[in-house]
């Protein structure tokens, strides 16, 4: 299911992360989609969503540290 990590390992060189039992992470799945591991902020974020955004009952809103996504940029394809 999990094919490869997108970006560097968040624990490289002994780095610490903010999450309680793991760390934020981005993975490419074997079907080409992506999975995001982050801190669940759904309850506080849903009431503040812009009118054009929504979060369904089977979805969660997660927080990713900026550096995680910026560092992953090189591994995110430019095209389909």
Burial class of residue 68 (count of CB atoms within 10 Å of its CB; 0-12, 13-18, 19+): buried
**pTM value > 0.85:** no
Q: Is the pLDDT of residue 3 over 90?
A: yes
Q: Which residues make Cβ contacts (< 8 Å) with residue 42, sequence separation at least 6?
A: 55, 59, 60, 61, 62
Radius of gyration of the CA atoms of the chain, in A? 14
Average pLDDT, the chain: 90
- Can you give the pLDDT at residue 59? 98
Residue 66 CA: distances (Å) to CA of 26, 54, 76: 12, 22, 15
């Amino acid at each position: 299911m999990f094919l490869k990590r997108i970006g560097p390992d968040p624990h490289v060189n002994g780095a610490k992360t903010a999450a309680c039992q793991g760390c934020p992470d981005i993975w490419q799945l074997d079907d080409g989609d992506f999975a995001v591991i982050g801190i669940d902020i759904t309850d506080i974020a849903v009431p503040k969503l812009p009118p054009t955004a929504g979060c369904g009952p089977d979805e969660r809103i997660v927080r990713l540290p900026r550096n995680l996504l910026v560092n992953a940029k090189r591994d995110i394809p430019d095209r389909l």
